[in-house]
Amino acid sequence: MGLFVTFEGIEGSGKTTQIELAGEYLGQRGIPCLRTEEPGGTSLGRRLRELLLNRGPFAICPEAELLLFAAARAQHVREAILPALAAGKVVLCDRFADATAVYQGYARGLDMETVNFLNAFSIQGRHPDLTLLFDLPVETGLTRARTRIELMTPGQKEDRFEAEELSFHRKVREGYLLAAHREVERFRVIDAAGTIAELRETVCFHLDRMLMERGLNT
């Protein structure tokens, strides 16, 4: 029922750009799709996104951070993702449970069993069918992300994670590559150092293949 594709990677790896292009590509082919993101994708998710990503006048401890991401995801799955899949759509989601496993589990060092339990609880049994992992050196990703952040309105800059040490971002990259190594069936690792056009071609190739495999090609 439908097809669930997630886009993952370090900050500035180009996921958001590619999700937009993939959505346009599917639209041109007449394939209904939902483009969405985490945290976000629902009214509650967008409120939680502001709290989680903008540097505010309050602390967020790692445990609270984990629970807030899980809460945003639970709402997102129930309110947006499951209905879209039930309607036969292709869901393109910018980050999902792998981000929690990598950022809160692997990089922040929270207990992995708890992270896995909360991930399982919040996704309500719906794992992605395909995960595209955009991989590139963290220095390149952070330079790209800073360019994007500079264009944002002050107070809305979504730079709480960007402010982390380089070692944190390196751990995130390592965590993602380990996850891809563990689940080779679901992950496709994409060299994100290419141009936007090159990456678009690779993304469309993987989407086409998966649609064909699932008999969803029109």
- Does 94 help bind ligand Z5A (rule: CB under 6 A)? yes
Closest-CA residue to 66 (of 106, 113, 118, 107): 118
Which CB sits closer to ligand Z5A, 33 or 110? 110
Shortest gap between Cβ of 66 and ligand Z5A (angstroms)?
A: 8
Side-chain half-sphere CA neighbours of 166 within 13 A: 5
Question: How many Cβ atoms are within 10 Å of 123's Cβ, its own excluded?
Answer: 21
In the complex, what is the shortest distance from the CB of residue 150 to ligand Z5A, in angstroms, rounded to a whole number?
Answer: 9
Q: Tell me the CB-side half-sphere exposure of residue 184, using CA atoms within 13 A.
A: 1
Contact flag: residue 80 with ligand Z5A (CB under 6 A): no
Which residue, 121 or 213, is less far from ligand Z5A as judged by CB? 121
Q: Which residue has the tokens 């790209």?
A: 144
- 5, 207 contact by CB (below 8 A): yes
- Under the binding rule (CB under 6 A), the answer on residue 216 touching ligand Z5A is no
The tokens for 69 are 């991401």
Prior bond of 154 cis (ω within 30°): no
Contact by Cβ (8 Å): 9, 142: no
Task: Answer yes or no whether residue 99 interacts with ligand Z5A by CB under 6 A.
Answer: yes
Using the rule CB under 6 A, which residue among 48, 85, 145, 207 binds ligand Z5A? 145
Minimal distance, residue 9 CB to ligand Z5A, in Å: 6
Closest contact distance (angstroms) between CB of 88 and ligand Z5A is 25
Where does this chain touch ligand Z5A (CB under 6 A) — which range of 14-22, 82-90, 110-118, 180-188?
A: 14-22
Size of the site for ligand Z5A (CB under 6 A): 26
Using only the alpha carbons of the chain, give its radius of gyration: 17
| Secondary structure element (H or E) that encloses residue 5, with its range | strand 3-9
- Pick out residues in 174-203 that bind ligand Z5A (CB under 6 A): 195-196, 199
Structure-block tokens of residue 151: 């264009």
Q: Is 135 in the site for ligand Z5A (CB under 6 A)?
A: no
Q: If binding is defined by CB under 6 A, does position 54 make contact with ligand Z5A?
A: no
Structure tokens at 21: 């292009």
Binding residues for ligand Z5A (CB under 6 A)? 9, 11-17, 38-39, 53, 69, 94-95, 99-100, 103-104, 144-145, 147-148, 161, 195-196, 199
